Amino acid sequence: MRKTVLLIIMIMIQHQLQSQDIIKISADLEMIRISNNAFIHVSWTELPGYGRVAANGLIFISGHKAFLFDSPWNDTQTEILVTYLEEEMGLKIKGFVPNHWHEDCMGGLGYLKSRKIISYASSLTQQITRDKGLPVPDHGFIDSLILRLGRKEIFCYFPGAAHTTDNIVIWIPSERILFPGCICKSADAGNLGNTADGDLAAYPETVDWIIRKFPDAKTVIPGHGSYGGPELLTHTLSLAANK
């Protein structure tokens, strides 16, 4: 009887912990806790021909400060997310980094700029956004950039063209979190998705570089779909090699 009671209590605690790991902010926006210091933010929008589509971003926290990697799809969703982080979690957003120039990565940059939140991106992203008349990230880098949040380091790298010609990866060694965004596909993806602005010839080499560069990655976050481990990169490499 005692064992049964203990088992029921353990199941109840586990259910409570799991429910706390997902924070529903609005009908089209939620956060998933992946470590004590990091959340994935997931936002949804309706895309013609695709229906309701979810996109992933990353929030990294140190003390009462946070960095945002990729924004939700638009300014309205981004304002809702930032307001939640500030008012409900007591965080100050210290900076923003988009993976590339598409709306699922920086559709909310206009709002962030209106709040004077500093943004960093590949210099290629800066050039593309200028050419397209989109909001332009404040600071650019060519090959790599190191950002700091408190005592924690954040590494930004341009690994080469893949999903787009300007896509980057984010590496947070203290958490062993790798955020390659739309370069990387989820485990259930059967193809590379939208590559209209990418480079299919360079894709396998770029993914191989990421795999070799980050052998210690524990959590790997794709641009869309469920997060996982390094197996997502090997899956993506297989898709890219057999395109």
User: What band does 2 get if pLDDT is binned at 50, 70 and 90?
Assistant: very low
Q: Which residues touch 42 (CB under 8 Å, ≥6 apart)?
A: 29, 30, 31, 32, 54, 55, 56, 57
CB 186 within 8 A of CB 232: yes
Token pair belonging to 45: 């929008």
End-to-end CA distance of the chain: 57
What is the rounded distance in angstroms from the CA atom of residue 117 to the CA atom of residue 62?
Answer: 17
The string of DSSP codes covering 37-87 is: TEEEEEEEEEETTTEEEEEEEEEEEETTEEEEES--SSHHHHHHHHHHHHH
**pLDDT tens-digit map of 64-118:** 999 999 999 999 999 999 999 999 999 999 999 999 999 999 999 999 999 999 9
In order of their start, the domains of the chain are: 26-241 (3.60.15.10)
Residues belonging to the active site:
100, 102, 104, 163, 182, 185, 194, 224
Q: How far apart are CA 13 and CA 2, in angstroms?
A: 17
152 strand-pairing partners: 149
For the stretch 144-177, pLDDT in tens is 999 999 999 999 999 999 999 999 999 999 999 9
- Is the pLDDT confidence value at 13 over 70? no
Q: In terms of DSSP bridges, do strands 29-35 and 139-141 run parallel, antiparallel, or are they unpaired?
A: unpaired
Report pTM. Answer: 0.90
Q: Does residue 184 carry a pLDDT above 90?
A: yes
Q: What is the DSSP letter of 112?
A: H
Tokens read off for 186:
């989820």
In this structure, of 19-23, 47-51, 96-100, 237-241, the range with the lowest mean pLDDT score is 19-23
